[in-house]
Structure 1
Amino acid sequence: MSKRILSVGLAALIATTAIAGVAQARGEGDRERPSFEQLDTDGDGKITMEEMQARGTARFATADTNGDGLLSAEEMMATSEKAKERRVERMIKRLDANEDGQLSIEELQAARGGKGEGRKGRGFERIDADKDGAISKEEFEAASAKMGKRGHGKPKAE
């Protein structure tokens, strides 16, 4: 194998592992977080860098559906779509109180802790600076600017 192919492959592996690590830290990703036992492939009670890299290599190989050692945009999109499908399936399974395979607005609100409560309700309360139960244009713009500064998006230009 040439040094260039090896270097490109290693760079792709490192990038894939880093992206997967960030996604896992955020609670994202297309699979459940692996257990210690799954990562400790030799069963010695320790996870080595080689064992972590082997997991990354295996994930790369799974995404490389044509086996050419490269990830095309199509392969990456297919992997992303599969991950989205699994997340949606898990969400429906978790929130579908009547087990009909669909989510109603009532089931979604119940999952949030009721209308206006839960995480989204707290977000509304934070934006409603004067606590009058409504968000004014000024409050909206202040919240948008604050979110833009934290990296949650860019404030809209008028």
Structure 2
Amino acid sequence: MKRLILLFVSALVLVSCNTDDGPSIAYDVALITDADLPEYFEKDETYEINADYTLNSACHKFVTFDSSQGRNEENDSIYEYNITVISSYDPALTECTVENDSLSRTSQLAKDFRVRSEDYTTYRFNFLSGFDSDDKPEYITIDVPVGEPEPETPEENTNA
């Protein structure tokens, strides 16, 4: 009887020590290839902003946009956004079985982006597009002025 109890307890301990908690999740950065921004912003109007990015593999899935924002340190009339795409994947997968024709995607960064203040003349968007040989981030930078830009006129010819 003691052996039977010992065998039962041993089996219970082995079963309860199973460490397989299912898939694990890791996060990665997807590189942005392009963005769709208006030519200029009007105060109190809403704008949809989309970004194109490339996932690292077919196993990666879009999670979210990550951003930091604030006044530009060199020019206080510029408000800056630094934007990165975060993706997820299961690092335990040794082979990806997801069928995928293309790793390029487009997602909506902002549905109702709105300029509410006249404190800034330009909104600068820095989209993470890669890393240089020293692993420093590289960005696609797009400046969007606030208010319709003045039309460019040719300089007057004073040599008449």
Asked whether the two chains share a fold, i.e. TM above 0.5, the reply is no
Higher share in strand: 2
Larger RCO (CA under 8 A, 6+ residues apart): 2
**TM-score of the superposition, structure 1-length normalised?**
0.21
**TM-score of the superposition, structure 2-length normalised?**
0.20
Higher share in helix: 1
